[in-house]
């Protein structure tokens, strides 16, 4: 079976469907034809048997036939439509001279002997012709026709060909009709397969076009609500997602390149100044040299931070985070607040933090909180206020900046997405996607919502407790 199955799998799908339809129809037609033939045969045989049972031979003919066998009369002519012979209890046969003698069975002798009421069976003539025979008693006791005593039975026979010939004709008719039906079913199956698989062909052509040209703008027309329509919608959705992802990656590369170029240019300028000072022997004033070194350090820190963002974002979501530890969210928030105050010294940051212990990766969680606070600092107006609170496991950061448009809120945590209004500001738009993944890996949630009045509220919820575990 392995070879035929392998060859079947090698056929095109439409050919397999057509073959499957033709096979199913062939099996069904064969079953119907066989059932029809069997039922017809049973009916014809039953009709012949009933005809034999109800066909009683004229007594006068039997008397003449018996007298002929005894040698006291001339031979009678054959009984019209039947072969008739007499059988006695010894198995002796008496038959008209122009009729073919039938083989005698024990059932016929038993009927003649009075041991059976009748017998119905098949027999053959000496010439080999199959006959259907019905035997019934003529005399139980007493005298046979012509006055002779004895037990005699009458066998009436008709050729089996009267049933077999119509059955043979019916079999040929059924075979021809079945063959025509199977061929028609195969043609219909091929037509159905071609029609039904046309959307699949279109989908295949679209996939091959995308693979060949990388053109993700291809869309397949969707008709109906069947499985093919669902597959077409899924393909369209997939190509739209891929196109969007590619656009975001391109935008990310452009943004990252811009962000990398700025500190690198500044670094190169500062380093060239320091190198020229050493080459020419003209010392830079101590305060200026100190400022240059501070600028170089800040730019290196910015580069490291941007590269870290890119590495963090490139890590698969399924990658295992670092070891989880029980840490105080309030302690991490305090550390992040100190960094935020350094980045926005002109801003007022108010904090109200209560104790809350969570299980998380400390470095990743601190980076997430820092990113949220950095966003608040970035979008706050000069001399604005940032309000930070931690109550019952919910850390909220509220700024008084321009806020986020409602249509942009669903996209703020997506990879490679950056608000059009924020593309002129420092940053690559990677922070919030990293924050969302870190919070989710710690079992929490993060949301952004418009604040009452103006600004935005970032809310981080993490499971935990106000007191550390006893074994900490």
pLDDT of residue 143: 45
Give the phi and the psi of residue 457 in degrees, each rounded to 5.
Answer: -115, 120
pLDDT of residue 315: 63
Alpha helices (H) in 315-379, listed in sequence order: 329-343, 362-379
Q: Determine whether domain 227-314 maps to CATH 1.10.287.130.
A: yes
CATH for the stretch 325-465: 3.30.565.10
- Residue 239's CB is within 10 A of a number of other CB atoms, namely 19
Mean pLDDT of 339-345: 82
CB 256 within 8 A of CB 262: no
Domain ranges within the chain, ordered by starting residue: 58-160, 227-314, 325-465
Mean pLDDT of 166-173: 88
pLDDT of residue 422: 56
pLDDT digit string, tens, across residues 229-242: 787 788 888 888 88
pTM of the model: 0.44
Mean pLDDT of 271-288: 81
Mean pLDDT of 53-72: 80
pLDDT digit string, tens, across residues 283-306: 778 887 788 788 787 778 767 777
Give the phi and the psi of residue 454 in degrees, each rounded to 5.
Answer: -150, 165
pLDDT > 70? residue 270: yes
At the topology level, CATH places domain 58-160 in Beta-Lactamase (3.30.450)
Mean pLDDT of all residues in the chain? Answer: 80
CA-to-CA separations, 153 to 49, 57, 66, 115, 203, in angstroms, rounded: 18, 12, 11, 11, 82
């Amino acid at each position: 079976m392995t070879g035929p199955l392998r060859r079947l799998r090698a056929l095109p799908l439409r050919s397999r469907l057509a073959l499957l339809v033709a096979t199913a129809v062939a099996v069904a037609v064969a079953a119907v034809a066989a059932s029809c033939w069997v039922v017809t045969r049973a009916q014809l045989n039953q009709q012949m048997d009933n005809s034999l049972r109800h066909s009683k031979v004229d007594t006068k003919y039997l008397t003449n036939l018996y007298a002929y066998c005894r040698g006291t009369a001339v031979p009678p002519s054959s009984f019209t439509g039947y072969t008739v012979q007499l059988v006695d209890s010894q198995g002796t046969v008496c038959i008209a001279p122009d009729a073919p003698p039938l083989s005698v069975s024990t059932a016929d002798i038993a009927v003649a002997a009075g041991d059976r009421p009748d017998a119905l069976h098949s027999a053959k003539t000496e010439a080999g012709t199959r006959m259907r025979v019905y035997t019934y008693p003529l005399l139980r006791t007493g005298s046979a026709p012509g006055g002779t005593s004895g037990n005699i039975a009458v066998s009436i026979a008709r050729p089996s060909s009267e049933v077999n010939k119509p059955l043979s004709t019916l079999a040929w008719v059924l075979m021809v009709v079945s063959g025509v039906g199977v061929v028609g079913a195969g043609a219909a199956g091929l037509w159905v397969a071609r029609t039904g698989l046309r959307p699949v062909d279109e989908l295949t052509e679209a996939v091959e076009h995308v693979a060949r040209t990388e053109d993700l703008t291809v869309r397949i027309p969707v008709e109906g609500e069947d499985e093919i329509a669902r597959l077409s919608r899924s393909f369209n959705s997939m190509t739209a997602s891929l196109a969007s992802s590619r656009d975001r990656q391109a935008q990310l590369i452009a943004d990252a390149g811009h962000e990398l170029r700025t500190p690198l240019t500044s670094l190169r300028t500062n380093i060239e100044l320091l190198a020229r000072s050493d080459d020419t022997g003209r010392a830079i004033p101590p305060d200026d040299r100190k400022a240059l070194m501070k600028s170089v350090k800040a730019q290196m820190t910015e580069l490291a931070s941007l590269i870290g963002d890119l590495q963090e974002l490139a890590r698969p979501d399924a990658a295992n985070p670092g070891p989880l530890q029980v840490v105080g969210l309030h302690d991490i928030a305090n550390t992040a607040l100190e960094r935020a105050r350094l980045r926005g010294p002109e801003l007022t940051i108010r904090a109200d933090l209560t104790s809350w212990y969570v299980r998380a990766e400390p470095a990743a969680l601190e980076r997430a909180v820092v990113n949220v606070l950095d966003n608040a600092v970035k979008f706050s107006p000069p001399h604005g206020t940032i309000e930070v609170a931690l109550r019952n496991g919910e850390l909220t950061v509220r700024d008084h900046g321009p806020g986020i448009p409602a249509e942009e809120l669903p996209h703020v945590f997506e990879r490679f997405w950056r608000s059009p209004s924020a593309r002129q500001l420092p940053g690559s738009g990677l922070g919030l996607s990293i924050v969302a993944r870190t919070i989710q890996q710690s079992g929490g949630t993060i949301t952004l919502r418009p604040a009452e009045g103006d600004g935005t509220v970032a809310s981080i919820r993490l499971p935990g407790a106000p007191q550390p575990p006893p074994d900490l």
